[in-house]
Structures are given as structure tokens and as C-alpha cells.
Chains A and B, each alone.
Chain A
Amino acid sequence: MVADLERDRGNEPAPMIEDGVRLTPEQLRRRRARSIAIGLALGALVILFWAVTIVKLGGNVANRSL
């Protein structure tokens, strides 16, 4: 991100900054676990919202005018 900003300003990209954040293997493992949990929760919400929408629409969805 900093390298892009520097490039936009017409300067040379700043070396080393892109690699500034180095997570430990444990941090990487925890982040991956959090990402999977968030993904599963979002997937479950998609299914829930879809199911509730179908239930609320009920039979009316078949009665729409063409």
C-alpha cells in the first residue's frame, strides 16, 4: 500500500515496507481459523435468509402476474 502511494507521488517505491508485517505461525493459524469461522457463519446466514425469504413469500410467489 505504501509502495503504491509512493509510486503515485512519482517517487521510487519504498523497499522493505511491504514485508513489514510478519505473523508468527501461531498467528497465521489463528487467523485462518477465524477466517474459516467467519466464512461458515456467513454461509449459514445466506441459507437462513434464503429460507426465511421463501417462507415469507409462501405460495404468493406462484401468483405473480406475467
Chain B
Amino acid sequence: MPGSSSEWLPLMSDVQIDRIDTASLAGPADYIALLKPRVMSLVVFTALVGMVMAPGGIHPVVGFAALLCIAVGAGASGALNMWYDADIDRLMLRTQKRPIPAGRITESEALAFGLTLAAFSVGCLTVLVNPVAGGLLAFTIFFYVVVYSMWLKRWTPQNIVIGGAAGAFPPVVAWASVTGSVSLESIVLFLIIFMWTPPHFWALALFKSDDYKRAGIPMLPVVAGLAETRRQILIYSVLLAPIGVLPALLGFASLAYGGAAAVLGAVFVGMAVRVYRMADNDTAMVPAKRLFAFSIFYLFMLFAMLLTERLAMLAGLSW
């Protein structure tokens, strides 16, 4: 620290001028955008299904607290992902309007926000619900931010295959919130989302491959080409369809669910076949866009059916 006031004052002035330059213009809406609300809504929905499916039940207030913690943990992951990916988000049309590349929020603000929410969500879930759920949420955030965002995403075209695990954990965390453990049923819910992720994101990557190429991200279409991506989409779709039926085969969902899941899975595979047959010079890529849209509907329908069945059973209705 400078010894005299004449040295001290200019230093403080510099700090103050710096503060004026960096005074934040971020509003609450920018912070909410950092949480990736659309991803968060899917996380909350799949976690809700995991929670309702779990045996034993949970008090509604504790259950609400658990869902809130899982949602905030997912939001923290999103904020930390946007902090780390700010450089490539500036290059892609799809992400240029995010708060950091758009200049509405600084990288340090996003980092502080993400770390605070991550610590708070894990701490609260551990204290208010149980340590197993808290530990799983901490691992989920670590997996998404460190394993996927910092490591896999820029390193391998298999990034979303392995990284997809992060998006598949929420129902497992929610299940553990009720039971304090992980079981076969929660692993099946995990597997459905895990196997759904590659065809979903690769369908998107097919018609957004220029964006990923511009940012230098080694997505499958950029590294291995469109034909190989279409082949991989078909393979993962064929693997996904029977996994979608597993809840019925393992006895924790009805035959009606099994039948509906089989039909939806068959449609999924059918649309993947159309993507596979797309011509190399097809720039419109309508089958890929349709598969992307249908994949969201597919996942929503499977989990909605599981939720409806379970709620009906809890209400004492026969199915």
C-alpha cells in the first residue's frame, strides 16, 4: 500500500474510474437468461417425474424444496457454461444474443452468479433434503461444467454422448431426494434421457453445422461429416426405442405405457431413417428439423405418461 496520501489518492481515483466503466447494466432478466430457463424447465419436469415415481413419497414442502434446489443447480450449470463458453458463443448465430456475448452482463458477474447458485443449491439440498441427493446434484453440476463444457465439448465429437449424462441426472437426483438412494428404476429414467440426447442434438447439429464449424467445436457433422452423423442418429434411435419401453418391461409402468412408448419409439426410428436417407446436397434438411422437433415431443410424452400413471395410481384410480 502506498505510504503517503499523494500516492494513495491517484490509486483510488483509478479504481473509481474503473468502477464507472464497469458499472453493471445487467437486469434481473439477464440473470434469468443465464440460467437457461428452457433447459431448466425440462430439468424440473423430468425431476418431478423421478420424484413422483420414487417409492415412499415425500412431504410436498420438502419435495418443492428439492425441486427448487435441482432447478437452481441446473441454472447454475447453465450460468457457468455460458461463462466458460462466452468466446465461442460470440461466434455462433444461435448463441450470439446470450447475455455475455451481447454485452449485457460481464463474464465475472456470470461466474460469481453461477458459483454462488451452485454452492447454495447443493448446500440447501444436502441440509433440507438429504446428503445423497446433495452429492448427486454436486456431481451433476461438476459433470456439466467441468467434464462436458471445459473438457469434452471442445475436444471430441463424442462430446454430447458422454456429456449427455449431465442432462440425464435430474430424475436420479429427484429419486434420491425421496429414497436417499439410487435404484434400477431411476437408472432406467437416466438411460432414457441419456440415449435420447445424441439423436436430439445431432439432428440440431446437422442443420446448424455451419455455426459449430465457425466456432471450431468438433461436433460430429463438422468432424465426421453429414453422412456419418445421419448413420449415428439412426443407431442411437434404434437403441433408444427399446429403452423407452423398459419401464413397462421392468414392471414400474403399465402395459398401456409400454404400448404407447413402443409406438412413439417406432415413429422416432422411422423419422431417423428419413434423416439417414437424406441426400448429401439437401440444404433444407426438413427430416432433421422434424426429427429434432419430434425428439422433444417424444421425451415429453414418455415422462408425461409415467407421471400421469403414477399420479392416477396415487389417487387410487385403476389404470
A contacts, CB < 8 Å to B:
2, 5-6, 9, 11, 14, 17, 20-24, 26-27, 30-31, 33-34, 36-37, 48-49, 51-52, 55-56
Contacts and interface: CB of A to CB of B under 8 A. Distances in A.
Contacts of A6: 5
A34 B23 contact: no
Mostly, the B contact residues are: helix
Interface stretch (B25-33, B190-198, B226-234): B25-33
Contacts of B8: 2, 5
B59 interface: yes
B26 A30 contact: yes
Contacts of B5: 6, 9, 11, 14
B162 interface: no
Contact of A17 (B13, B19, B23, B31): B13
A20 B18 CA distance: 11
Nearest to A56: B62
Chain B interface size band reads: 20 to 34
B61 interface: yes
A55 B9 contact: no
A17 B11 CA distance: 11
Interface of B: 5, 8-9, 12-13, 16-17, 19-20, 23-28, 31, 59, 61-62, 64-65, 68, 128
A54 to B, nearest CB: 8
4 closest A-B pairs by beta carbon, nearest first, are A20-B16, A37-B28, A55-B61, A30-B27
A52 B62 contact: yes
